[in-house]
Amino acid sequence: MEHVKCECGHVNPIGTVLCESCGKPFEENAPALLDMRYEGSARRSQTYNKTIIDKVWNFFSSVKVGVWLIVITLIASAIGTIYPQEMYIPPTVTPAEYYEEQYGWLGKWYYQLGFHDLYGSWWYMLLIALIGVSLVICSLDRVVPLYRALKKQGVTRNEQFLRRQRLFSSSHVDNYEALLPQIKEKLAKHRYHIREENGNILAEKGRFSRWGPYVNHIGLIIFLIGAMLRFVPGMYVDEVFWIREGETKEIPGTNGKYFLKNEKFIFQVYEKEKEKKVFQEAIDRVGSGMMAKNYQTNAVLYERVGPIIPGEKPKLKKVKSFSIRVNEPLKHDHYALYQVDFKLNELSKMSFHLIDKQTNKQFGTITVDLLQPKDEYDLGNGYRVQLLSYFPDFYFDEEGNPATKSKVPNNPAFVFKMITPDRPDGEVSFTAIRQTIEPLGDNKYKMAFAGMETRNVSALTVRRDFTLWILGLGGAIFMIGLIQGMYWNHRRIWIQRINGEVLVAAHTNKNWFGLKKELAKICEGTPLVMPVDQADKGR
Amino acid sequence: MKTKRFWLRTAILALMVAAIGYTIYANFFTEKTSVKIGDEAPDFVLTDLNGNKHRLSDYRGKGVFLNFWGTWCKPCEKEMPYMNKQYEVYKKKGVEVLAVNVGESELSVKKFVERFGLTFPVVIDKQDQVMNAYDIGPLPTTFLIDKNGKIVDIITGTMTESMVQQYMERIQP
């Protein structure tokens, strides 16, 4: 039993509900109104269920399964918004501890189940992938039979098919042959494609709208493939790096090929005196100097020449100078550098006077480079200052010892040893901002704060995305499919004379109201009875 | 007809399983970095505190225990003495330890080395170049490199002394 032969002579695949050609219902107890979904074609998944492959296939072929997958994904996405995602928690904390500390056992589970990094958790990705599989199989299983059924549909239909359409009427027409050209003309005026067979008419328009959902799905699948390609090395780069004014640094993600120099970082605000008069009121409202106007990094891009060995001092060739501003990235070789963050006035140098605490007499000044401090500063005349320890980001650790939180000079602290002619063994002083501790007893000398230098730091995002055009293409096809299915309807009108009666039946995949109005215009002024909506009868 | 359908479905399913499998694999079973286990360790040149240049490729034939660390990182501090102790043992067996500091001041690194009496070479990655090449995220991160220059394993997080010992055993030539 591979095929079902209809009385009209057409051979249908097994599982067909309505004959592909004449529309005769095969079910014994066909309903009063035919279910026109997929033209009553055999969804093959429903038919074969023998091997494991068939079973898997049939599982994914179910729209119900597809809808459930989407619902589960939606619920998971919603849960993912309850607590902050990993990227929004403070960068210094360990996520494993943070979620439990902040949100208790719920937070612990949230973290352990991967909700803290939802888009990166394996099961979420698997869900998306399963939706993709469902999309492919559902579409294939429907579009092929639908295409067959629409291509093979006959003009002359089975009487049962016509009578069980939602819009149907039967009329007595005395001179059908004379009426036919008039009807055809009217149909043609409404842009129907007309096929005629022995005086029977099939008028059809907008069939391509039926492919809309499948075109849409193709777009989605292309989009998913694009998203997948991001994981292929080299396709997608997304890095952030901090660069100080005056610093030249390798741009991460470029495999050591490009370097960047930050000449200057500029932060500007709207100030009352400097702007045009029209802006005065707006500036007054938020306050002068409160609203940011510009974030800008004056950068120089260099390319490394010669062999790339990380750590080796690079030979650099200037590529170009550029002012990177928000939404005005520096672009080169498919890379784009975007302004993303900044830090004003990071400490770069600190100066101290060596003074006698009693007399305040100065014996010289040292300037400590906070990124590369020296071990010893000679002031001459037997006065020397040694730097015993340096904590760029000072705090007291759990054991009460001075330590540093990072390598960034946010809160520098120093242990100085001051060697003077009258104290040849030296005096030790712990000097931090607004804090001096003399651990070995009272000192005669002191390192007095004398000044500091600061500079700005700029953060830039490095982007390179070779998947963007695929995502764009997928998105465009998605939209085309959507429009195709939304703004056009597939309408069909059958007119047929059977035993002296003229039967008119009509079907559309959506917008029955529009079809009814069209039918009314076609029937107007003819002996044809306007078809009745049989779906209303039951109510 | 039936077999054709079977093979068509099998082919489509296999294609999709392969695509999904790759995505999941690429995301969760490999390091999300450009440097992976089994790759050749990227070569680099860095200078130690005594001014000696260390080039990774010069260590071919020896196992290299490549440790990235910072003075502020408490777990790094904890494992340094273990590394120091095991280095004494495995040095004779052809295992080298290279500790790459992530661009701190020479002074801080020097004081740290003095404090813990570290005997293995400690180099400073002043321009983050080596960090970028190895795609270093959290500290400490240790790369186990065998005598052929291949990365055998990547360890993030603190190691106990017995772990350090086992790892050195693994890369002993």
User: Both B107 and B162 in a single domain?
Assistant: yes
Tell me which chain B residues have a C-beta less than 8 angstroms from the C-beta of A129: 19-20, 23-24
pLDDT tens, position by position, A300-338? 999 999 888 888 888 999 999 999 999 999 999 999 999
Report CB contact under 8 Å: B133, A122. Answer: no
Q: How far apart are the first and last CA of chain A?
A: 40
User: What pLDDT sits at residue A537?
Assistant: 65
Q: Which residue has the higher pLDDT, A36 or A265?
A: A265
Tell me which chain B residues have a C-beta less than 8 angstroms from the C-beta of A232: 26
Nearest CA in chain A to B7: A53
CA distance B169 to chain A (A): 28
User: Both B167 and B95 in a single domain?
Assistant: yes
pLDDT for A430 beyond 50: yes
In DSSP terms, which residues pair with A395 in a beta bridge? A403
User: Both B6 and B57 in a single domain?
Assistant: no
User: Both B7 and B82 in a single domain?
Assistant: no
Q: Which residue has the higher pLDDT, B157 or B101?
A: B101
Which among A132, A311, A405 has CB closest to B45? A311
The answer to whether A150 and A36 are in contact (CB under 8 A) is no
Phi-psi label, residue A470: left if phi above 0, alpha if psi -120 to 50, beta otherwise: alpha
pLDDT for B10 beyond 70: yes
pLDDT for A433 beyond 90: no
Pairing of strands A200-205, B53-55: unpaired
Element (H, E) at A149: helix A122-152
User: Both B89 and B150 in a single domain?
Assistant: yes
**Numbers of helices and strands, H then E, in chain B:** 5, 7
User: Which B-chain residues 59-88 have CB contacts (< 8 A) with chain A?
Assistant: 70-72, 74
Interface pTM, i.e. ipTM: 0.82
pLDDT for A378 beyond 60: yes
Distances (CA, A) of A234 to A273, A332, A334, A335: 49, 16, 11, 12
CA distance A44 to chain B (A): 10
Q: Where are the beta strands (DSSP E) in B63-127?
A: 63-69, 95-101, 122-124
User: Both B20 and B82 in a single domain?
Assistant: no
Structure tokens at A265: 């970082």
Does residue B113 belong to any structural domain of this protein? yes
User: Both B95 and B21 in a single domain?
Assistant: no
User: Both B161 and B86 in a single domain?
Assistant: yes
Structure tokens at A388: 């015993």
User: Both B55 and B89 in a single domain?
Assistant: yes
- Best mutation site among A247, A312, A385 for testing chain B: the one with the most B CBs within 10 Å? A312
Q: How many CB pairs under 8 A join A and B?
A: 120
How many percent of chain A have pLDDT more than 90? 51
pLDDT tens, position by position, A394-422? 988 888 888 888 888 999 999 999 999 98
Which among B46, B104, B133 has CB closest to A407? B104
The answer to whether A502 and A496 are in contact (CB under 8 A) is yes
For residue B71, what are the domain limits?
45-171
**Half-sphere exposure in the Cβ direction for A321 (13 Å, CA):** 3
* CATH code where residue B153 lies: 3.40.30.10
Nearest CA in chain B to A257: B129
Does residue B100 belong to any structural domain of this protein? yes
User: Both B164 and B89 in a single domain?
Assistant: yes
Q: What count of other Cβ atoms lies within 10 Å of the Cβ of residue A200?
A: 18
User: Both B69 and B149 in a single domain?
Assistant: yes
Number of structural domains, chain B?
2
Structure tokens at A537: 């009868």
In DSSP terms, which residues pair with A316 in a beta bridge? A304
Pairing of strands A167-172, A501-508: antiparallel
User: Both B65 and B119 in a single domain?
Assistant: yes
Q: Which of B73, B42, B67, B76 is nearest to B143 (CA)?
A: B67
Helices A468-487 and A212-229, interaxial angle, to 10°? 170
Report CB contact under 8 Å: B6, A371. Answer: no
In the predicted model, what is the mean pLDDT of residues A286-310? 89
Helix then strand then coil, in percent of chain A rounded to 5, is 35, 35, 30
User: What pLDDT sits at residue A2?
Assistant: 67
Q: Which of A364, A340, A116 is nearest to A242 (CA)?
A: A340
